[in-house]
Amino acid sequence: MIRPDIFYKRLDVLLGAVVLILLGYLVFLDFRAAPPAPTAATPTSTPVGPIYLNALDGSPVTSTDEELPPVVGVMIDNHPDARPESGLAEASVVYEVPVEGSITRYFAIFPLSATVAKVGPVRSARPYFLDWLEEYGDSSYWHSGGSPEALSDITARHIWDANEFYYGSFYWRSADRAAPHNLYTSSNNWQAFAARYGGSHSSTTWQGWNFTTSTPTGTPVGEFSLSYASDYHVGWKFNAASSSYVRLINNEPEQLDDDSEVTASNIVVQEMSMQITDSEGRLKLGTIGTGVAKIFRDGTMVRGTWKKESATARTRFYDASGNELDFVPGHTWIEVVPMGTSLIITN
């Protein structure tokens, strides 16, 4: 017979075991009923912030502060004795425009922050280039002298002037060419000029073009050309591999003094009125108003119009339905030609 004290001790052990078993069972049931612990979701893509575009060439930038960069405009010689030129490949926008004597001159737009070792030869000012300069805000104008009308307008319009006649230390003349086709400047020089004289020229408020990477709707054109005059036969040939156009001068790819080729992503042929105004053959161009334009990008041509409402307003380009045309990000060349200029198109 089991003594009472032993009996109750064994009973306590048995009851403790039963309690432990019941608690374990309840924990098991709770575990089964509980939902599985959440796991971190695997991201399908990296979050992308707002996309900002440089108004000069459509390239992506990191903030709205970079969308409207300060720029400089440089007059560049295109006389046969000035070839090959320097720095044109680095320009974001280039205007080729007739001047007197049946020749053309380049007006090259660079961001102030660009790095360009040599730009030129730099030549003289004409009044109609000021209408394009002022589309880019309060930008410095780089030239060597100019026509009487241009010099007068520079003063009257309060252009931020970098005339070589007064700021010669920001230019140099090359010994391997004859004047006047041997004057050059550089980004180091225009940046130093801005640092010294730019205190009252801080406005960079201006409007850019629209940029897109979507495929345009137009007529396929692989190559086209036009003639300003003898020795000024200009062509552009589309390179599908690079989605850009190679510039031809007198049927040969144009090469600069560093052997680089001139290319562009957008080409505009802009027709406007031109009148001879004096015995020197100087011209007056109808830069303000509207006219015919042909826009080339991605191997296609769109026929349309251009419009510029005032001297400071941005020149805009439209299709036949009146919709503003987009450019593809990259360099842009504008061929300003007399009204009715014919294009030779090669597909």
Tell me the per-residue pLDDT of 24-81, one tens digit each, with 9 for 90 and over: 444 444 444 444 444 444 454 444 556 899 999 999 999 888 899 999 999 999 999 9
- Given a cut of 90, whether residue 107 has pLDDT beyond it is yes
Residues 146, 125 contacting (CB under 8 angstroms): yes
Q: Cα torsion at 304, 309, 315, 320 (round to 10°)?
A: -10
- pLDDT at position 7 over 50: no
Nearest to 225 by CA among 216, 238, 214, 215: 238
Model pLDDT for residues 116-161, shown as the tens digit of each residue = 999 999 999 999 999 999 999 999 999 999 999 999 999 999 999 9
Contact 291, 304 (CB under 8 A): no
Which domains does the chain carry? Answer: 52-346 (3.50.90.10)
pLDDT at 14: 45
Strands 244-249 and 140-143: unpaired
User: pTM score, two decimals?
Assistant: 0.85
